Amino acid sequence: MNHAATIFVGVMLTFASAWLGLVFLPYLQLGNIEPVAIEGSSDTYPKPLGGLAAQGRGVYVAGGCVYCHTQQIRPEGFGADIERGWGPRRTVARDYMYDRPHLFGTNRTGPDLANIGARQPSSKWHHLHLYNPRITSPGSVMPSFRYLYEKRKITGEPSKLALELPEEWKPAAGYEIVPTAEARALVAYLQALDHTTPLKEAETP
C-alpha cells in the first residue's frame, strides 16, 4: 500500500507542533513585554542602548566575546551564578527585550557578563583588562585585545585617554597606549550591562 499521504501528513503535523511549541506559544507569552516603572523613580527598565554603547555591542559581537562569555544569570538551584556575585537575581525575558540578536552565549570560559557594568564600573579597569587581561586578572586565559589600542609617540602633553599601565607593560619612553574608537565603544557597552533592577517575575517563587 502507498502510505505517502499518511507520512506526509505526519511530517507536517510534527513540524507544525514543533513550530507551535517553540515559536508561536513563546511569542504569545513574551511578545507583549513592556518596560516597567522603577519603584521610587520616574524612570523605566529596561532601556534600549544608545550612542557609544550601541556601537560597542557591535564590537563585542565582532570580537567573538559571545563565544567565551554568557549574559544570563541562572536561578538558584541551577548553578552558583548568584553565589559567585554575578548578579543579585536571575535574568528574565524582560532583560532582553531590546536585544537583537540576543547574546546569551554558549560557553563560560570566562565569567558571565550580564551585570559586568554594575560589578566593574571603572572604564580604566576595562581598558587594562582588554589590553592585557593578565594585568587585572592574573592567570586569565582570555586573549589580549591589544589590536583595539594604538601605540603612538607623545607630542606635547600626554593624552588624557592613555592607559595607566604597570611598569612591565609600559611602552618605550616617549610613547603611550591610547584606546581606539572601537575600544571606547566596547567599554561603554560593557559598562551598560546592568540587569540588577529588581523585577517581580525574577523573584524566587
Q: To which residue does cell 586569565 refer?
A: 140
Longest dimension (CA), the chain: 89
Please provide the size of the chain in residues.
Answer: 205
Among residues 168, 162, 53, 71, which one has the least CA distance to residue 110? Answer: 71
Q: pLDDT at position 151, please?
A: 97
Q: Would you state the cell numbers that stand for residue 140, as one nine-digit string?
A: 586569565
Q: pLDDT at position 11, please?
A: 84
Bond into 48 cis (ω within 30): no
Q: Are residues 78 and 20 in the same domain?
A: no
Segment 23-31 long-range contacts (CB within 8 Å, at least 24 positions apart): 30/93
Q: Which helix H or strand E contains 188, and what residues bound it? A: helix 181-192
Secondary structure class of 102 (helix, strand, coil): coil
Q: Are residues 24 and 115 in the same domain?
A: no
Q: Are residues 49 and 26 in the same domain?
A: no
Q: Are residues 104 and 168 in the same domain?
A: yes
- Which range marks the domain in which residue 9 is found? 1-32
List the chain pLDDT tens, one digit each, 205 residues: 567 788 888 888 898 888 877 777 766 666 678 888 888 888 999 999 999 999 999 999 999 999 999 999 999 889 899 999 999 999 999 999 999 888 999 889 999 999 999 999 999 999 999 999 999 999 999 999 999 999 999 998 999 999 999 999 999 999 999 999 999 999 999 999 999 999 998 887 6
Q: Are residues 94 and 16 in the same domain?
A: no
CATH number of the domain residue 68 falls in: 1.10.760.10
Q: Are residues 19 and 98 in the same domain?
A: no
Q: Are residues 28 and 128 in the same domain?
A: no
Among residues 144, 149, 142, which one has the least CA distance to residue 69? Answer: 142
Supply the Cα-derived Rg of the chain in whole angstroms: 22
Q: Are residues 50 and 93 in the same domain?
A: yes
Q: Are residues 6 and 56 in the same domain?
A: no
How far apart (Å, rounded) are the C-alpha atoms in residues 140 and 133? Answer: 6
Q: Are residues 73 and 111 in the same domain?
A: yes
Among residues 16, 34, 14, 33, which one has the least CA distance to residue 24? Answer: 16
Q: Are residues 84 and 5 in the same domain?
A: no
How many domains does the chain fold into? 2
Q: Are residues 23 and 98 in the same domain?
A: no
Q: pLDDT at position 205, please?
A: 63
